[in-house]
Homo-oligomer: A and B are copies of this chain.
Amino acid sequence: MQDRARTTRRVLLESAAHLFLERGYVGTSVNDISEHSGRTSGAIYFHYSSKEKLALAVVREQFATWPQLVVPYSTPGIPPLEKLVALSFDIAQALSEDTVARAGARLWAERRSIDAAVPTPFDAWVPAVTRLLAEARVRGELAEGIEPSGTAVTLVCAFFGVCALAEDVPGGLDWDDRLRRWWTLMLHALQPEPEPGALLARARTPLPGRRGEPLSLGVR
């Protein structure tokens, strides 16, 4: 029964994400979600109590709380800038390919049409990036004059722009190419002795045990 309830919650969450992504928050009704999921609207109200709450659950599921940020790549010895770059590719991949993450991003963009406080990812991203930059500073792996907390804000905003606009800006690059180009520019400023190509190559090499929980994103 516990299991069945969990399955129902998951089915509802994924159906809602699918529809929110396709039609937006305003364009999706509880009836639509019921029809798409094959569950009754009673089940929706029982498990999530309202369309707002269901939308918030989609946002929280991944977009606002990336598990990797909570337990950042924990393998010791990986240079912090390399962790940061690897993490950004994981998040960008989810933002491009995972339905729940993409729906979370769309709902966040439409947050002012939702009658509830939609959580943002930045509350978690900024401190996580700040911590990695501060660690790089201690290890002598951050260029002089780069101040971790202010730079973290800049990096997070710019990263989000690079990911979120991938589909809207002409130029025909996929998210991976675009992010690679962006890091190439940024690493020129961040590394004391810039070698963006080498760092990107290391960060993009999946090694056993290299990353904390690469699969926890549930990228589909």
Chain A: residues with CB nearer than 8 A to chain B?
24, 26-27, 106, 109-110, 112-113, 120, 122-123, 126, 143, 146, 149-154, 156-162, 164-166, 168-171, 173, 178, 181-182, 184-186, 188-190
Contact = CB atoms under 8 A, between A and B. Distances in A.
A147 to B, nearest CB: 9
Q: List the 7 closest A-B pairs by CB distance, nearest first.
A: A161-B161, A188-B189, A158-B158, A153-B171, A185-B189, A122-B169, A157-B165
A172 to B, nearest CB: 9
Kindly report how many copies of this chain are found in the complex they form together.
Answer: 2
A184 to B, nearest CB: 8
Contacts of A160: 161, 165
Nearest to A147: B181
Given A158-B162, A159-B161, A173 B188 contact: no
A110 B114 CA distance: 12
B151 A157 contact: no
Contacts of A110: 109-110, 113
Contact of A126 (B151, B157, B170): B170
Given A120-B168, A122-B168, A161-B161, 7 more contacts: A27-B113, A150-B171, A152-B171, A154-B178, A157-B178, A184-B189, A186-B186
Contact of A165 (B106, B122, B150): B122
A169 B189 contact: no
6 contacts: A26-B113, A27-B113, A126-B171, A153-B181, A157-B164, A185-B190
A118 to B, nearest CB: 10
A120 B173 CA distance: 17
A19 to B, nearest CB: 13
Contact of A186 (B161, B164, B178, B185): B185
